[in-house]
Amino acid sequence: MILKAPPQIAWRNSMSKASQTPKGKKPTGTGAPPQPAAQGDSHAGSKSGAPAKTKPRRKRLLTVLAVCGALLVLGIVLAGSGFAFAATQESQDTFCASCHTQPESTFFQRETAAQPSDLASAHTAKQTRCIDCHSGVGVTGRVGAELLGAHNALAWYTHAAVQPAKLTVPIDDANCLKCHAQVTTNRGRNNHFHYFLARWQAVDPNAATCVTCHAGHATDGDASIAFLNQQHTEAVCQACHNAVGEGGEGD
């Protein structure tokens, strides 16, 4: 005769065996199934949640960089195009005369006359333009002239230009030496004043420059000696001799 344990004792025995399950094996009891993690749990899905927060931020950063890059390229293109347009216009003396009134309008009339009356108009016959004398050496010299021209144009169109116009940037020796560099190497009797000019300038901050004798728009010069005013030029020569000495060797 087989005796069966009461239901309460059988249930206790099954629970006791379940608690003795070896490590590494899943219990096979009839306990309650695991509950799913609640939404909003900071630990649940933390690995998958981090990229979701980073991607929108990275996307915004890339968008900002793309917009800034596009604006930079656009600015460079516009600046280059504006400079190219200005360069083509500044190469024409008629464009320079279109804004400038006095004294530039008079200067332009002289260069279109049948006979030259000053050094600048004499240069016109040699295909020399306004910009050739009124710009420095190389790209930087040309850019500087373009910027000055833009400033003058802005003053003209805003009715802030002073008339008659005042000379603000005298022509530098480097502008002249773009075409006349050979005069600095000849020490001959008829050219020694050009040869020793740099030595005078080295010892005297008030020394002459090229345009002190070779004024481009002065009309009191002698055409037979390249529109020099002889009396004025001789005074400049004497000042150089006083500063540097006879023969250019100093006192």
pLDDT digits (tens, 9 = 90+) for 77-133: 766 666 566 556 667 777 777 765 678 888 888 988 889 999 999 998 888 988 899
Picking from 142, 167, 192, the residue at the C-terminal end of a domain is 167
In whole angstroms, give the CA distance from residue 56 to residue 61: 9
pLDDT digits (tens, 9 = 90+) for 153-171: 788 778 888 878 778 888 9
Report if residue 174 sits inside a domain. yes
Please indicate, yes or no, whether residues 202 and 249 belong to a single structural domain of this protein: yes
Report if residue 243 sits inside a domain. yes
What 8-state DSSP symbol labels residue 125? T
DSSP per position, 41-61: -SSTTHHHHHHHHHHHHHHHH
Question: What pTM value is reported for the model?
Answer: 0.61
Instruction: Note down the domain range covering 110.
Output: 78-167
The count of structural domains within the chain is: 2
